[in-house]
């Protein structure tokens, strides 16, 4: 029994020592956070529920966002592939803690599709860039 406890304790210390439980927030706007868990270059966009909990909206690597209080816009390099840029739009008036992500997030869009939507909806510009992921 004691051996099992020591093995479990050692395993937990090993995981903690590897930074497995590390995280950070690099931007906040309204109910949204752009942050990472475990790897600083795996930045995602989430709806913040408070007390350290959140609901995912856009997968990694979100490298820039814009926010005007209603619309959030984001650019993402899927799987870190900098040759590909996906564009996303979130209408915060339709979003909430328990909203269906598929009904709230518009995207991925191409640059041409995004520009068309930006003109239709008067979307904000991109203002918060993580240069290291760009």
Please indicate, yes or no, whether the overall pTM of this predicted structure exceeds 0.75: yes
Domain assignment present for residue 13? The answer is no
Domain that holds residue 76: 22-129
Nearest to 59 by CA among 80, 84, 90, 82: 80
Domain assignment present for residue 79? The answer is yes
Domain assignment present for residue 38? The answer is yes
Domain count, the chain: 1
The pLDDT tens digits for 26-83 are 789 999 998 867 776 788 999 999 988 889 999 999 999 999 999 999 999 998 899 9
pLDDT band at 110 (very low <50, low <70, confident <90, very high): very high
Which strands make up the sheet holding 32-37, listed edge to edge?
A: 23-29, 32-37, 44-50, 53-58
pLDDT over 70 at 10, yes or no: no
pLDDT over 50 at 2, yes or no: no
Domain assignment present for residue 82? The answer is yes
Domain assignment present for residue 1? The answer is no
Determine the 3-state secondary structure of 47 from DSSP. Answer: strand
Domain assignment present for residue 99? The answer is yes
Give the DSSP H/E element, type plus range, for residue 10: helix 2-17
């Amino acid at each position: 029994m004691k051996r099992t406890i020591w093995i479990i304790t050692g395993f937990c210390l090993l995981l903690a020592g590897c930074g497995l439980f590390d995280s950070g927030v690099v931007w906040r706007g309204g109910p949204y956070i752009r942050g990472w868990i475990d790897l600083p270059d795996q930045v995602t966009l989430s709806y913040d529920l408070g007390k350290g909990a959140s609901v995912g909206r856009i997968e990694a690597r979100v490298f820039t966002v814009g926010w005007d209080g209603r619309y959030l816009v984001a650019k993402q390099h899927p799987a870190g592939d900098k040759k590909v840029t996906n564009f996303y739009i979130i209408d915060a008036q339709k979003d909430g803690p328990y909203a269906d992500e598929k009904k709230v997030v518009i995207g991925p869009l191409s640059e041409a599709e995004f520009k068309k939507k930006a003109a239709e909806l008067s979307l904000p510009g991109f203002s918060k860039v993580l240069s290291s992921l760009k």
